Structure 1
Amino acid sequence: MRTSKFRVAAVLAGVVAWTSLQSYGVSGAAGPTNAEFTYVSAVGDYVGGGDTQHVTSENGDFTVRSSAGSVEVMALYQRDGQLTFVNITLAAPRGQVITTGTYEGARRAAFREGNTPGIDVVAHGRGCSDVFGKFTVRHIGYGTNGAPASFVADFEQHCESPTAPVLRGSVAVRSV
């Protein structure tokens, strides 16, 4: 069950992560020169609120944190006159390198276990306690440090139940 405490925690986590990345330069974080995300939220989807969003480097500030096993894209932008954020995390099963292909049966990225991939899309201070989804990595290019430097993926996420209304989208980082 979603509570106001969860919403406040999601907003604070996003602001803290954003501030940390922008102010202190977390290892593996970079400001891409060309990034974008799009999502289409079905009516009844909690995270997207039934809305459609498209943000690019021209109308939002992007930060990317990546490792060999995951990519996290954060966008800070204006929505309806308010500063807001979207955080998209896509991860291979623990201990594996993220590569091109489809990752079925994804669960909340931070709590994935065993051979389960991870996904977590948080938008406008709203996130899921329990996540069900999948994603397809269409392109990935690695930097000299072994972490993804360019990345294109499509995703699908359901909150709290695999039959809940869907949030579908895509994310692209073309230069980190």
Structure 2
Amino acid sequence: MDLSPNSGWKLSAWSGSGIEKFLDVLRGQHRITQGAGAGKYLAQWMIYGQTEINVREMDARRFGDWAAGRYTLEKAIDDYEHMYQVHYPGEFREPGRTQRTTPIYETPKSKGAVFGEVFGWERAKWFDSNNEGEQYSFKRNNSFSAVAEECRAVREKAGLLDLSKFSKFDIEGPDAKTS
């Protein structure tokens, strides 16, 4: 099975130690129909150092060390098994989950948080006060009114957001304050 952790392309060209150009192409399920396009952008990347379009969604560097081993294996098997199943917006399946959690993960979980996973991190999407679980749909799903209520509460009162999963930069040096 040649699947990436998110069933997408894995395409990279970068300089390596002692190797002028090292290529990493994981073709995914559509290797015959999309191979020519992947080859075109890989060649542009190798020759010019960039492509004519944004290939961020195909860049192998979007996966960190957290996506190695068990995570990738579980995700790839699940994606293959559900390849032709209907996939709803906002749907997060269980394989590979709880790979990365924050120190306060258990607090929102104990209060009914429904989690999604982004770059391996578990993120609270909304709170299920009715304990019915998320019911996916192409229209408004059952989380809509709960999310509206949460937004109203934060706007009119206060709220606590766990931002520990977002990048942090420490900028130092003589011009750091002007950057």
Q: What is the TM-score normalised by the length of structure 2?
A: 0.23
Which has the larger share of strand?
Answer: 1
Which has the larger share of helix?
Answer: 2
